Amino acid sequence: MISPHGAAALSPRLVADPDKAAALAAAARSLPQVTLSSAAAANAVMLGAGYFTPLAGYMDLADALSVADDMHTRSGLFWPVPVLNLLPAAAADGIKVGARVALTDPNVAGGPVLAVQEVTAVETVSEAQRAQIAERVFGTLDAGHPGVATFRAQGDVLLAGPIEVLNYSYFQTDFPATFRTAPEIRQAMAAQGWDKVVAFQTRNPMHRAHEELCRMAMDDLETDGLLIHMLLGKLKPGDIPAEVRDAAIRAMVAGYFPANRVMVAGYGFDMLYAGPREALLHALFRQNCGCSHLIVGRDHAGVGDYYGAFDAQAIFDQIPPDALQIKIYRADHTAWSKKLGRVVMMRDAPDHSADDFILLSGTRVRELLSAGTAPPAEFSRPEVAQILMDYYQSLNQSPSNAAGNQS
């Protein structure tokens, strides 16, 4: 199993000892309270769960700019996306360097303390610097990009410093069978005797093309196992909620994969929609989980038309060869071939025209599911289609749900 990123061992920031956690929680009651943004709360969860190894906390402005511009911290650690705690100026008023602050959770009722931070820097990020970070990370300043909009809404005062994490927000309680930390995934793979493992990142339900892509990767790489690793955090409006995706993916795995070859797990992070930069971050997460490979396909972590179809693969050719130990499995668009009667990568079928494939747009799939009509069996497994039809029909019956908060 490969080593964690930049370290010999994982360094989760969760205070695991119950007595120490209780003492920290008691101390937090007398500390200044700072309400995190959802993005900063997700960063705290990822720090607590070991996915951000070897980081100890939130970056300062110099590291944030270095990561945005050059994809490494000032110390030389490869890192593709700044890890920040940004606040509105009013929320940071009175906080000084050297203080300890209690970071409260915006995603849980009552705002419980999620972590305690030692403040090593309080810095105002200029408008030019905010634009610099956004443009480098997201490749655009367009406010219509959901990641840009979320980043620009967080505030312009940065609190840097290490944190001690008390819990995993809503992820462990809402998804007890799915949420797993990086150490837990490593331990589970070791218990299975897996050494070579390919990971599949998803924020969507998996259709036949995704299923077969995972099989292709397992066969081509001769892996011991597959980690289907789903994002459980916040998404843009209109994306399918995590609990529906979880059910659909588990139905597919139970029906169509050997039980001893696939692990289904989830992690507590909000989607950035940062395309190539986020693909690098996804690879880093999976290296910390112990995976040897990550599937990177067409428009990985993308949104709209902001990125080229294979920009997320190309960026791995632009980083130093020793930046990451994990390797990527480069996938093309996959679809059912009417000629061959199976799912293929389009690049492997040069004699096919578009009419030789079963191709459905996301809009068309949503129309079918909303109408209670299953997509063709070549596109989606019936068990998966039924779960998605039930979800979309529930939206039709209760329109207010469609505008609700996506998780």
Tokens (6 digits) for 25: 């929680």
Phi, psi values for residue 208, rounded to 5°? -55, -40
Whole-number Å distance between alpha carbons of 300 and 331: 10
Residue 82 DSSP symbol: -
Q: Is 347 a catalytic residue?
A: no
| CA-based nearest residue to 151, from 121, 131, 124, 126 | 131
Residue 250 DSSP symbol: H
HSE, side-chain direction, 13 A CA sphere, residue 100 = 12
Whole-number Å distance between alpha carbons of 106 and 40: 10
HSE, side-chain direction, 13 A CA sphere, residue 15 = 18
Q: What's the sign of the alpha-carbon dihedral 268, 272, 278, 279?
A: positive
Is the omega angle on the peptide bond into residue 350 within 30 degrees of 0, that is, cis?
Answer: no
Catalytic residue among 100, 136, 204, 366: 204
Q: Is 203 a catalytic residue?
A: yes
Q: Is 269 exposed, middle or buried (0-12, 13-18, 19+ CB in 10 A)?
A: buried
Catalytic residue among 152, 180, 186, 203: 203
Give Cα separations from 218 to 199, 212, 284 (angstroms): 10, 10, 20
222 SS3 class: coil
Whole-number Å distance between alpha carbons of 229 and 203: 9
Q: Cβ contacts of residue 333 below 8 Å, gap of 6+?
A: 209, 297, 298, 309, 345, 346
Q: Which residues are catalytic?
A: 203-204
